Amino acid sequence: MSYFLDFTGFLSEKSKKYLIKDVDNVFRELVEYIKTVKSISTTDQYNSFIKKIISIFKDSKVLPATKSSTYEKEIIPISKSSPLTEKTRWGGVALKKVDVDKNFIKKLLVIAKNGVLGFEVHKQKHENLKVLEGACIVLYSNHASPTWRKGKISIRLAVPGDRIKFLPYDEHGIVALTNCVIEEESTNHLGDLVYIFRVSQVAF
């Protein structure tokens, strides 16, 4: 499968207000780079793309200094492999609620700065995400959108308060530009995960 990138909805009014300076310069650099990426069809291409995106934001200093109070609170039990947590290469997961009868799970994705979640898809799982803390880039394909085309991947800067919904077969990935906490409410399909591109963590 070959994917192409769409950046038209990258910055919302909310995310513009969240950034502190050089918004136009960063967006211009990002657009110029994305124009050079004709398609992504391999894991190596995807990893190179993610590394470059992180580099653009790292060098720009466009992101404000953020308090990571929720991140710091949640990462400690994750690092100790406490019950109802799972440690991952990008941070970890804290399980908050499971209701089997109502087919419902709530958890927190606790993502370290520059942490990258793989580009993936679910066959049954419905996900509703809400950014609680920090800033991240979300890559996604919304098959229900009237503007959807096969292989189209939208890129969006998500900031606190933003919500993202993924239906089954919507491809998606996340890149944390700061320490980031995302609340995920989903159906109870814990093993329903297919990686399209497994990603390397980017160390700076």
Q: Pairing mode, if any, of strands 172-176 and 116-121?
A: antiparallel
| Torsion sign over Cα 55, 35, 62, 117 | negative
- Buried b / exposed e over 178-187, threshold 16 CB at 10 Å, is bbbbbbbbbb
Q: Residue 119: beta bridge partners? A: 197
pLDDT of the chain along its 204 residues, tens only? 899 999 888 888 888 888 877 677 788 888 899 889 989 999 999 999 999 999 988 877 788 877 789 999 999 999 999 999 999 999 999 999 999 889 999 999 999 999 999 999 999 999 999 999 999 999 999 999 999 999 999 999 999 999 999 999 999 999 999 999 999 999 998 889 999 999 888 654
Whole-number Å distance between alpha carbons of 95 and 115: 19
Q: Which of 116, 158, 136, 134 is nearest to 71 (CA)?
A: 134
CA distances from 179 to 69, 113, 135, 136, 140 (A): 10, 4, 8, 9, 20
pLDDT of residue 203: 54
Helix 43-60 vs helix 23-36: angle between axes, to the nearest 10 degrees?
160
How many CA atoms lie within 13 Å of 159's alpha carbon, on the beta-carbon side?
15
Kindly list the domain boundaries of the chain, sorted by start residue: 4-197
Whole-number Å distance between alpha carbons of 90 and 116: 6
pLDDT of residue 204: 44
The domain covering 4-197 belongs, at the CATH homologous superfamily level, to: Jelly Rolls (2.60.120.10)
pLDDT of residue 1: 87
pLDDT of residue 19: 83
The pTM (predicted TM-score) of the whole model is 0.93
Cite the beta strand spans of 54-188 per DSSP E: 85-88, 91-99, 104-111, 116-121, 127-133, 136-140, 152-158, 163-166, 172-176, 180-186
